[in-house]
Structures are given as C-alpha cells and as structure tokens.
Amino acid sequence: MTDDAFDPMKTLAGALPFLKRYDDQIIVVKYGGHAMGEEETALRFGRDIALLEQVGVNPVVVHGGGPQINAMLKRLGLQPSFVQGLRVTDAEMLDVVEMVLAGPVNKQVAQAITRAGALAVGISGKDGGLVTARKLLRSLRDPATGQEQQLDLGFVGEPAEVDTRVLRLLIGADIVPVVAPVGVGEDGQTYNINADTVAGAIAGALGAERLLMLTDVRGVLGPDGVLIPEMTVAEVEAGIAAGWISGGMIPKVETCIYAIERGVKGAVILDGRVPHAVLRELFTDTGAGTLIKP
Ligand SMILES: Nc1ncnc2c1ncn2[C@@H]1O[C@H](COP(=O)(O)OP(=O)(O)O)[C@@H](O)[C@H]1O
Ligand SMILES: CC(=O)N[C@@H](CCC(=O)OP(=O)(O)O)C(=O)O
C-alpha cells in the first residue's frame, strides 16, 4: 500500500473485519533491538501500539536490546560473544545486560507508547513473579568426532514458569505491559533470557491471539535470499538443519513453533523498520513477513 493509493474510507472499511476479530484479544509483540533503530522508529512503534490499545485490542510488548547491550559493552571495553544466537553471559556481563534491558531500553519503549496516548508500564520478568527461569542447557555436536558437547553459556536462562497475574492486572486496567527479558531462578539467581523466548512463553501463557516478532529483516529468507511468506514447522526444522536459518533467526523461529504448539493462533516474523508494520500485519489482507504454521 503506497501513500498515493491511500483512500481513508476504503482503509477503514477494510480494517473493520480485523477490528472485530481482534476486539479484546491479546496480541504479544516482540520488539527486537535491531528494529528499534532511530528514535523516530521507536516513536512510530509507540504510536502503533497506542492505537491498538485505543481500538480495543490488548497489546503486550516484550522488547529485546541486543545491539544496545553491545554498545554499552563497547563503552565499558568488554567484548560480547554469542553461541547459536545467544549471548554468553558471565556475572559481569549479566550486570550490564540487566542494567541496559530493564533500564533505559525498557523505559524508552514504555515512554514512546505513553507519549502516543496510551498508558504503558515497564517491568522486567523479575517483577511480580512474572518469569521464573532456569539455566539453559545447550549442546553442540562436534563435526570432527560426532560427539555431543555441553555448552556453558553462563547465566543464560529459559522460562520455566510464567505467572501472568501482573500482566492481567495491567491489561484489565487498560495499561500496556512492556516487559524486559530478564528472569529469576527459584534460588534468586538472575538470568539473561533471549527476548524471543520470553515473548513466546508469555504469548503461550496468556493464550494470545497473535505473536508478532519485529526484527530488521523482512522475515525468513530462503537460501536464495527470497522472502518465504509461509512456513510449516517441518520446513523450519529443515532450514535450521541445512544451515540457511542461522544465528538470531534460530530463537525466533523456535519461538514461533513453541507458541503455536501452545495454542497461539498465528506467529509472524516481520520487519519492524517498515512504517506501521504492526498495523499492516493485523488490519490488512496484505500481511507482511513470514507466517509460521503448524
Ligand atoms: N534465513 C534467514 N532469514 C532471515 N534472517 C536470517 C536468516 N538466517 C539468519 N538470519 C539473521 O537473523 C537476524 C535476525 O535476528 P536478530 O539479529 O537476533 O534480530 P533481533 O535483534 O530483532 O532479535 C537477521 O538480521 C539475519 O542476519
Ligand atoms: C541470552 C541472550 O542472548 N539474551 C539477549 C537479550 C536481549 C535480546 O534478546 O535482544 P534482541 O531481541 O534485540 O536480540 C542478549 O543478551 O542480547
């Protein structure tokens, strides 16, 4: 849809069936650090989320902040390292991760939504018992020996349990929850959790109608670099095994699979830098990005 073709009446009439479909439904939006980019992009995102709230949809935002953490590490003279798209997180790194995610990034996103006219409150997974985490165990097959090798990513966690009470309280009061992806173990240990994983766990626990994953690529690109509009779970698994789905895209597609297996009706990976990406995806027939299907 280009701006010259814009016809307000046609647009409104076209959006009506979608407004009905999503009325009072929960939509979980994962807002990736790469999709935040310039301040203007964040403000535009805030306006889209505020609009969702104002038309009777219940958005819940889970944000990332990988590039923002990297920028802070650079200022501090620390070197980031990633395995399978996940940040290796020692105790010193964990302090920086929590400071950046639950601090300026969380407040910037909540503020962008609030400035656009909807109330938003920023919390982390540690607040209100939202995300109980456990240490993430990952293994890697050594191609030379064929042996499985356990990887130690440090204080990287995965959600073990999600207590949705604090989210439901906020939603019930017409407040948009904005969640930073940090969790806490049974023993009180803080864990750094990939934001995609947190978004999937929250979408599943809330029984969300949709999970939208905003990133900085148009969706899942095939080996030829062409956008794939729809993928089944089996196709995703084949792409990971073949290696053309790699890095940060792995937790994203795995999250979509996890969410739809828990009853989320649709999980979509799309480019958050495109103006009004969220509104286009929800309120038009020309949905963008890659839809993952069972
Ligand atoms: N098949 C693929 N299609 C699209 N992107 C891919 C693919 N495989 C790997 N990627 C990488 O995944 C990245 C998205 O993940 P990530 O950088 O973690 O985003 P975010 O910060 O939004 O969570 C893309 O920028 C791209 O470099
Ligand atoms: C364990 C792990 O990798 N955690 C992520 C959390 C932030 C995140 O997921 O940010 P994006 O969505 O912008 O990638 C990290 O430390 O970068």
* Secondary structure of the chain as H, E, C letters: CCHHHCCHHHHHHHHHHHHHHHCCCEEEEEECHHHHCCHHHHHHHHHHHHHHHHCCCEEEEEECCHHHHHHHHHHCCCCCCEECCEECECHHHHHHHHHHHHHHHHHHHHHHHHHCCCCEEEEECCHHHCEEEEECCEEEECCCCCCEEEECCECEEEEEEECCHHHHHHHHCCCEEEEECEEECCCCCEEECCHHHHHHHHHHHHCCCEEEEEECCCCCECCCCCECCEEEHHHHHHHHHHCCCCCCHHHHHHHHHHHHHCCCCEEEEEECCCCCHHHHHHHCCCCCCEEEEC
Of 148 and 210, more confident? 210
pLDDT for position 161: 98
CA of 101 to the centre of ligand 2 (A): 9
Q: How far apart are CA 278 and CA 244, in angstroms?
A: 26
Report the binding-site residues: 65-66, 87, 192
Across the chain, mean pLDDT equals 93
Q: For residue range 12-62, what is the model confidence (pLDDT) as tens digits?
A: 788 888 889 899 999 999 999 998 878 888 999 999 999 999 999 999 999
Q: Which atom of ligand 2 is nearest to the CA of 36?
A: 13
Mutation test of ligand 2: which of 178, 192, 197 has the most ligand atoms closer than 8 Å to its C-beta?
Answer: 192
CA of 5 to the centre of ligand 1 (A): 31
pLDDT tier at 5 (50, 70, 90 boundaries)? low
pLDDT for position 6: 62
Q: For residue range 147-204, what is the model confidence (pLDDT) as tens digits?
A: 888 889 999 999 999 999 999 999 999 999 999 999 999 999 999 999 999 999 999 9
CA of 209 to the centre of ligand 1 (A): 24
Range of lowest pLDDT (43-52, 86-95, 166-175, 270-279): 270-279
Of 15 and 71, more confident? 71
Mutation test of ligand 1: which of 100, 213, 216, 255 has the most ligand atoms closer than 8 Å to its C-beta?
Answer: 216
Mutation test of ligand 2: which of 87, 155, 213, 250 has the most ligand atoms closer than 8 Å to its C-beta?
Answer: 87
pLDDT tier at 279 (50, 70, 90 boundaries)? very high
| Residue 2, pLDDT above cutoff 60 | no
Range of lowest pLDDT (50-64, 87-101, 254-268): 254-268
Q: Which atom of ligand 1 is nearest to the CA of 244?
A: 1
Ligand closest to the CA atom of residue 228: 1
Q: Which atom of ligand 2 is nearest to the CA of 86?
A: 3
| Mean pLDDT value of segment 227-236 | 93
pLDDT for position 148: 85
Q: How far apart are CA 30 and CA 199, in angstroms?
A: 6
Report the binding-site residues for substrate: 65-66, 87, 192
- What is the topology classification, in CATH, of domain 23-279? Carbamate kinase (3.40.1160)
pLDDT for position 219: 96
Q: How far apart are CA 18 and CA 246, in angstroms?
A: 33
Q: For residue range 105-147, what is the model confidence (pLDDT) as tens digits?
A: 999 999 999 999 999 999 999 999 999 999 999 887 777 888 8
Q: Write down the domain spans for the chain.
A: 23-279
> Which residue's CA lies nearest to atom 6 of ligand 2?
194
Angle separating helix axes 249-261 and 195-206, nearest 10 degrees = 10
| Residue 1, pLDDT above cutoff 50 | no
Q: Which amino acid is at 34?
A: H
| Residue 10, pLDDT above cutoff 90 | no
Ligand closest to the CA atom of residue 219: 1
pLDDT for position 145: 83
CA of 237 to the centre of ligand 2 (A): 22
Using DSSP bridges, classify how beta strands 210-215 and 26-31 pair: parallel, antiparallel or unpaired: parallel
